[in-house]
Structure 1
Amino acid sequence: MLHLGKHLLLQRQQQRCREPPGPFAWPLIGNAAQLGSTPHLAFTRLARAYGDIFQLRLGTWPVVVLNGEQAIRQALVRQGATFAGRPPFPSFQLVSGGRSLAFSTYSELWQLHRRVAQGMVRSFSTGGAGARRRLEQHLLAEAQALLRLLAWGSSGGAFVDPARSLVVAVANVMSALCFGHRYSHSDSEFLHLVGRNEQFGQAVGAGSLVDVLPWLRCFPSPVRAAYAAFRELNRDFYGFVRAKFVQHHGSLHPGAAPRDMMDAFIRLQQEQPRLPLEHVPATVTDIFGASQDTLSTALQWLLLFLIRYPNVQAKMQEEIDKIVGRDRLPSAEDQPHLPYVMAFLYESLRFSSFVPVTIPHATTADTCLMGYLIPKDTVIFVNQWSVNHDPAKWSNPEDFDPSRFLDEKGFLNKDLTSSVMIFSLGKRRCIGDELSKMQLFLFTSIFVHQCNFTANPNEDPKMDFTYGLTIKPKPFTVNVTLRDSLDLLDSAVQRLQAEKTASENHLSANL
């Protein structure tokens, strides 16, 4: 009886709802041509004309775009299950062998899958001192290799493009966490694997022609070529991770402590037999692929902001030198005591909004959102950029100003930091958000503690970008000089390596 009453109430609400407004849609292509190369900015312009919730068509797909914090929170948090689906886009079926946690649609199996994966990732990020120690161990080794490479490339006052080195450094941290193995910055196979992030982002980002105009794949065209490259990229990536899974599954000893995320997830799957075994490599593919793409993009923006705003870099160095000193390296425990460094991180995430539009959602049922009727299976675009650049929330949102996140006593304003939207919300919120923030803090604090970063005066200071699933800065160069030497990093890495070797020897002796 109660269920019937709720159903009748929902019916009455939907009868009072109206269709969202929106621009005229052309036959065949819909509104695809209006989005241009920067859909997040097009969505923001359209929101000024039609409101924070409006509709358009991309090809034959009905799409509703959500702008602004109120509409997005109402949909993703308060009506979370209804907005937690994924559209059956062709590109989504290619990711992680078709079993992707990020790209699969909402179901009971998906909820179990997410619960298990979230528990595993949390144990490697906020799972106590041991988890933080393991993360710092991997990250320090990569920071050492990265800064040595950039400083060497900057010798004699030269300027170096940091993009590829940042991709490899972040991918190596995630490779060590996921598989217990790192690769050389000159490993051609690894470089080929992790260097194709833009192909991925352009295929699955909002408004991708591969998905909304699939008939274009029937004719020789750049779209067909892009789709073929995307299919090959996913096959290579999943094949790489699945080979690691086979190795781990065959060598994991019963009762032994997990060596890495792959081991940990295999163990968790054994405790949850309703989750198929093949979801293990699929999930690790998601974690490894998505994190190294988003984190390397974030670090490119962080470096760009350091060189474009040298006064901000100097303030961060002053704070770190005061709190940490020059005789040790920053660590995870320092984070609460470095509010300006954290304010810089949050302002970098807000200003760049490097994930401007989330992976497209889809409605799982007919629903009413803030007076608008949205049918089941409608594609939903979530414009995070509109939240991070809302002038009603942020004064002068187009100015880069870390101090906006500090209160009058110089402490971090937690209410404001929680308003920065980069990892989505609700049931589809990124499961690696805390792990990502910790890595960004450690990389950034070590960077400014150890080095000075200087812009190339011959380059245009305008911060242009390329658009895909993430916004990436256009290529830029930087000069990197050591503030002292790399002795602290070298000795820290040697000490951690000795601890790791001793731990491995102890484990072998007890097997």
Structure 2
Amino acid sequence: MAAWHSSASKLNVSPSSAPVCILLIFSFLVALHRFAGGRLRSRLGSRLPLPPGPKPLPIIGNAADVPTTMMAQRFKEMTDKHGEVVYLNALGQPMIILGSHEAALELLDKRTANYSDRQPSAMRELAGWEWTFVLMPYGLPWRRRRKELHQFFHPNAILQHQPLQQREALKFLKNVIEKPDTFSHQVRHSFASTIMRIAYGIKVIDEKDPYVEAIEAGSAAFTEAFVPGAFLVDTFPILRHIPGWFPGAEFKQKAAAWKKIAHNMRDAPFEMTMESLVKGTAERSIATTIIEKARRKECSDISAEKIIARDVSALAYAAGADTTISTVQTFFLAMTCYPEVQAKARAELDTVVGSTRLPTFEDRGSLPYITAVAKESIRWQSVAPLGIPHRSLEDDEFRGYFIPKGSAVIANLYAFSRDPRVYPDPETFDPERFLKDGKINPDVQDPSTFAFGYGRRICPGRHFAEASLFIIIASVLHTLTIDYAVDDGGKLIIPEVKMTDGVLSYPLPFPCSIKPRSPEHIQLVHTGLAQPD
């Protein structure tokens, strides 16, 4: 009965109430039907064993084994015990947990045609995220949006964004120098400002810009709405039809609130850009480029193209920005806890860049230690610990095991980042693990090979995200000193290294001291900002 109590708690109701009992009985019957159907194995499945995993219970299977908190850590414990490919069956839903990068690479990358789908999600539509291709099923709508995003974020395309990225880094430095206690907010504001300019041609000036606030609210809603297993309606989609007043239907009220937030994030800045386009004052952006290209094609359906432009512009934020925001916050945490790393990075910057200018993208190849700091910031704390589950389109065989059609395939990125075979002493922040003879060691696995996903579902904004991360880290270390905060008694405050629990993970708020290295470094920032935009 523990699994049923768990399910009831996800509905935010007491399992003792009569209406909920009705729901649970109904769920039980649906699970029984799904379980029976799941036993009808294909010819492939009849001659192959399923991957190992915890022993299932009758009817509910492994529902009680699926963790509701710290999922990545608990799944890692499973793969450590049972092997790097683990099978669960939760209420009839087959799940494959991948505990190694090699297994994920083989399935999700090399067999991407079979593993590019997403699990059906009732919350996707209920919470207003039907437009985001991150959750879209594999098909033409997804491919079209992916294609449009790629043209703006492939390695050559992002070069045009470098001047804007460098300028936003300067604004970030200025804001942190003036208000160091707000550095975490400034990180998010900086990236939101950058992406608003690229996606919509909108210049963000005020810190309380409504469009930036809309993006921040949307990101927070997404993180809360799509925690795996958080809502029973994703397991039993028929529950979406129960009325909002029905006991146990609180998820519908939450979803309705999230839908307004998600659609406002998608629509408000786009509508502003379309108004500017009509007036002839719009700056070139992702949105205007797609619309103008459609207008040049006589056969184009402009209304359909507007939907594509609207969706792709909003998706641009998710195509690397949220990942980078968390990683930059993690970088500040690491620099607070590892002053010796900061000292080595600063020595490299002083040698290569000097004291009369700020680092630029042209310095990237000459700053291997800074590059290593960026890689270790990605690895040290996982931004998306479990990624977004893939879905198998057909039955498959892997290492002698049967992978059923319709399986949710979860790549445990957290486990990959903690693999001691690849990253010895994984809990320690150590950029030198990526270096050999003063250069980046190509024999050490780059965490970017798994942190941004796999196959056709790999994040299209990864190159932009890595470029943003480099210029922020280089700029911060060249101009600022990050140190432990001090309490009223003069004692150092050692921050706790802990991340939030969710689809996207961020460092919990932590105290630190941030000061400019010298008045001369402050002047470098102001001189840079004085240049024409």
Q: With structure 2 as the length reference, what TM-score do the two structures score?
A: 0.80
State the 1:276 CA deviation.
4.6
8 Å Cα contact 1:451/1:482 also seen in 2: yes
| Native 8 Å contact 2:192 2:317 kept in 1 | yes
Question: Match for residue 494 of structure 1?
Answer: 530
Matches within 5 A, 1:230-309: 230-252=255-277, 259-268=284-293, 273=300, 276-289=305-318, 291-309=320-338
The residue aligned with 1:200 is: 222
1:138 & 1:495 partners in 2: Cα distance?
Answer: 13
- Counterpart of 1:184 in structure 2 is 206
Q: Are 1:360 and 2:360 matched, yes or no?
A: no
* Structure 2, gaps ≥5 residues long: 1-41, 488-492
Q: 8, 27, 38: which is aligned to 2:70?
A: 38
| Deviation per residue, 1:149-184 (Å, 9 max, x gap) | 22xxxxxxxxx2532232222212222222222142
- Which SS does the other structure have where 1:259 is aligned? coil
Aligned counterpart for 1:130 among listed residues 156, 160, 164: 160
Following superposition, the deviation at residue 456 of structure 1 comes to 2.1
Would you say how many aligned residue pairs link Structure 1 and Structure 2?
475
Provide, for residues 163-210 of structure 1, a one-character-per-residue CA deviation record: whole Å limited to 9, x for no partner: 223222221222222222214224477446515634421322334335
Matching residue of 2:465: 436
- RMSD after superposition: 3.1
Structure 1 equivalent of residue 175 of structure 2: 145
Q: CA shift at 1:215, angstroms?
A: 7.9
Code of the aligned partner of 1:475: P
After TM superposition, give the deviation of residue 135 of structure 1 in Å.
3.0
- 1:164 corresponds to 2:194: no
Greater alpha carbon shift after TM alignment, 259-268 vs 428-437 = 259-268
Q: Deviation of residue 477 (structure 1)?
A: 1.6
Amino acid in structure 1 at the alignment position of 2:157? G
Partner of 2:441: 413
Corresponding position of 2:39 = none
**Which deviates the most, 22-31 or 411-420?**
22-31
Q: Is the 8 Å Cα contact of residues 83 and 363 (structure 1) preserved in structure 2?
A: yes
Q: Which residue of 1 aligns with 2:475?
A: 446
> Which range moves more in the overlay, 23-32 or 268-277?
268-277
- Cα distance in 1 for partners of 2:413, 2:479 equals 33
Match of 2:52 in 1: 21
Cα distance between partner residues in 2 of 1:196 and 1:333: 35
1:315 aligns with 2:344: yes
Alpha-carbon contact 2:221-2:261 (below 8 Å) kept: no
Whole-Å Cα distance in 2 between the matches of residues 268 and 298 of structure 1? Answer: 35
**CA 345–56 in structure 1, closer or farther in 2 if over 3 Å, else same:** same
Deviations, residues 352-391 of structure 1 (Å, cap 9, x unaligned): 1221111111112222222222222221111111211111
CA distance in 2, matches of 1:234, 1:476: 31
DSSP-derived class of the 2:96 partner: strand
AA in 1 matched with 2:179 = L
- Determine whether 1:111 maps to 2:134: no
Q: Percent identity?
A: 23
Equivalence for 1:76: 108
| Deviates further, 22-31 or 363-372 | 22-31
Separation in 2 of the partners of 1:28 and 1:45? 21
1:477 is aligned to 2:511: yes
Task: Give the stretch that moved more between structures: 382-391 or 56-65.
Answer: 56-65
| 2: CA distance, partners of 1:38 / 1:306 | 25
The DSSP-based 3-state class of the residue aligned with 1:465 is: coil
Shift of 1:110: 2.2
The amino acid across from 2:185 in the alignment is R
